[in-house]
Chain A
Amino acid sequence: MAKRSSSPVAAPAMRKRDTFSAGLLVENPVLRQMLGLCPMLAVSTAVLNGVGMGIATTFVLTCSGIAVSLLRNVIPSSVRIPAFITIIASFVTLVMMAVEAYLPALDEALGIYLPLIVVNCIVLGRAEVFASKHSPGQAAIDGLGMGLGFTGALVVMSAIRELLGAGTLLGVQVLPDFVEPMLVMVTPAGGFAVLGFLIALSVWFEQRSARPAIGDASPADFKAESALEDASESPCASCPMGCQNTGKEA
Chain B
Amino acid sequence: MAEYAAILFSMILVNNFVLVKFLGICPFLGVSKRLDSAAGMGAAVTLVMVLATMVAWPTQQVLNAWGLEYLQTIAFIIVIATLVQLLEMVLKRFLPPLYDSLGVYLPLITTNCAVLGVAILSIDEGYSYLEALVAALGAGLGFLLAMVLFSGVRRRVEEAEPPQVFRGMPITLVAAAIVALSFMGFSGVVDHLFGV
Residues of A in contact with B (beta carbons under 8 Å apart): 34, 37-39, 41-42, 81-82, 85-86, 89-90, 92-93, 96-97, 111-112, 115-116, 118-121, 124, 184, 187-193, 195-197, 199-201, 203-204, 207, 221, 224-225, 227-229, 231-232, 234-239, 241-242, 245-246, 248-250
Binary flags per residue of B76-113, CB closer than 8 Å to A gives 1, else 0:
01100100000000000000000000001101101111
Write out the residue numbers on chain A whose beta carbons fall within 8 Å of the beta carbon of B142: none
Q: Is B149 positioned at the interface, with any CB of A under 8 Å from its CB? A: no
Supplied contacts A93-B73, A191-B180, A227-B169, 7 more A-B pairs, CB within 8 Å:
A38-B23, A93-B74, A96-B73, A119-B113, A197-B174, A200-B166, A224-B165
Q: Is the interface of B mostly helix, strand, loop or mixed?
A: helix
Which residue from A92, A204, A224, A245 sits with its C-beta under 8 Å from B169?
A224
| Cβ B21 vs Cβ A42 within 8 A | yes
Mark out the residues of chain B between 149 and 186 whose CB falls within 8 Å of any chain A CB in the assembled complex.
Answer: 163-174, 176-178, 180-181, 183-184
How far, in Å, is B135 (CB) from chain A's closest CB?
Answer: 13
In the complex, are the beta carbons of B111 and A239 less than 8 A apart? Answer: yes
Nearest chain A CB to B192 CB, angstrom units: 20
Q: List 25 A-B contacts (CB under 8 A).
A: A37-B29, A85-B110, A86-B74, A89-B77, A92-B73, A93-B70, A93-B74, A97-B70, A112-B124, A116-B120, A193-B173, A196-B173, A200-B170, A224-B170, A229-B168, A232-B30, A235-B27, A235-B41, A236-B31, A238-B111, A241-B107, A246-B107, A246-B108, A250-B37, A250-B108
Chain A min CB distance to B25 (Å): 4
CB distance from A130 to the nearest CB of B (A): 17
The verdict on B52 contacting chain A, using a C-beta distance below 8 Å, is no
A190 / chain B contacts, CB cutoff of 8 Å: 177
Q: Are A199 and B23 in contact (CB under 8 A)?
A: no
B174 touches A193 (CB 8 A): yes
B59 interface hit (Cβ, 8 Å)? no
Least CB distance, B32 to chain A, in whole angstroms: 9
- In the complex, the answer to whether B23 meets A250 with C-beta atoms within 8 Å is no
A248-B25 in contact given A89-B77, A235-B30, A241-B111 (Cβ < 8 Å): no
Dominant secondary structure of chain A at its interface with chain B: helix
Contacts of A204 in B (CB 8 A): 165
Listed in ascending order, the chain B residues whose CB lies under 8 Å from chain A are 19-27, 29-31, 33, 37, 41, 70-74, 77-78, 81, 104-105, 107-108, 110-113, 116-117, 120-121, 124, 163-174, 176-178, 180-181, 183-184
> Once the chains bind, are B170 and A199 in contact (CB under 8 Å)?
yes
Q: Is the CB of B22 within 8 A of A188?
A: yes
Task: Give the distance in Å from the alpha carbon of A207 to the alpha carbon of B163 in the complex.
Answer: 13
10 A-B pairs with the lowest CB-CB distances in the bound complex, closest first? A196-B173, A192-B177, A193-B177, A200-B170, A189-B181, A42-B22, A228-B168, A231-B30, A189-B180, A196-B174
* A221, B171: Cα distance in complex, Å: 13
Question: Using Cβ atoms and an 8 Å threshold, which residues of chain B touch A203?
Answer: 165, 170
Residue of B nearest to A192 (CB): B177
What separation, in Å, do the CA atoms of A207 and B170 have in the docked complex? 15
Q: How far is the CA of A241 from the CA of B107 in the complex (A)?
A: 7
Do A231 and B29 touch (CB < 8 A)? Answer: yes
Chain A residues near B184 (CB, 8 Å)?
187-189
Report how far A193 CA is from B172 CA in the complex, Å.
9
In the bound assembly, the distance between CA atoms of A187 and B183 in angstroms comes to 11
- Shortest C-beta distance, A147 to chain B (Å), equals 18
Q: State the CA gap A132–B173 with chains docked (Å).
A: 32
Q: Which residues on the B side are within 8 Å of A225 (C-beta)? A: 167-168
- Could you tell me the distance between the alpha carbons of A227 and B21 in the complex, rounded to whole angstroms? 24
Closest A residue to B33 by beta carbon equals A232
Nearest B residue to A193 via CB reads: B177
Indicate if the CB atoms of B74 and A89 lie closer than 8 Å. yes
Task: Note all chain B residues with C-beta closer than 8 A to A97.
Answer: 70
Q: B107, A238: Cβ atoms under 8 Å?
A: no
Q: Which chain A residues lie closer than 8 Å to B41 at the CB level?
A: 235, 250
Q: Are A124 and B165 in contact, with the CB atoms below 8 A?
A: no
| Residues of A contacting B176 in the complex (Cβ-Cβ under 8 angstroms) | 192, 196
